[in-house]
Amino acid sequence: MDIFLHKRTPAVTFEEVIRDYEQPLYWHIRRMVVSHDDASDVLQETFINIYKGLPSLREKAALRSWVYRIATNECIRFLSRRKEQALTEENAFLAEQLESSPGVDLSDGAALRFQKALLSLSPQQRTVFTLRYYDDLSYEEIAEVTGSSVATLKVAYHYAKEKIKNAIIA
């Protein structure tokens, strides 16, 4: 029997990944890049990378952190491409997009201040905060996604919470 005729069956199918992760990944990405159009583009790139790498995934248990790592890396890649502008200009641009984005309730002042406060965070703080607060990942899972230590992530999350709290109160 020729061993090259048998392909290893992936731990999970691409259709299962789309079914289970399309919405959570979209919202994770959207919180990072703000704009619906940009989030859709980044999500598409994320799924292309997932499709390419899925045959190498060995354990279904590792799937969640793996897909979030790919999505987070795509967000960082996307945001770094827009670094021609200064960080403050970038945050102002994102805040402007936030206010003009469909589905944002401009009458809810606290929610709008919260979203703008998210934009004031560094990319690392925003990543840690969104993965922990919105996506409910453990610090260990976030460490797998970002490649950072748990201690570093806890500090970044703490500072992110403080910045957001101060921005909302101000």
Q: What is the pLDDT of residues 76-122, one digit of tens each?
A: 889 877 764 545 555 565 556 655 565 555 555 677 777 778 888 88
Q: How far is CA 73 from CA 66, 77, 78, 79, 108, in A?
A: 11, 6, 8, 10, 31
| Single pTM value for the model | 0.66
Note whether 33 and 39 are within 8 A (CB): yes
Q: What does the domain layout of the chain look like in residue ranges? A: 3-169
Q: Check whether 54 has a pLDDT greater than 80.
A: yes
pLDDT at 167: 82
pLDDT at 67: 95
pLDDT at 93: 59
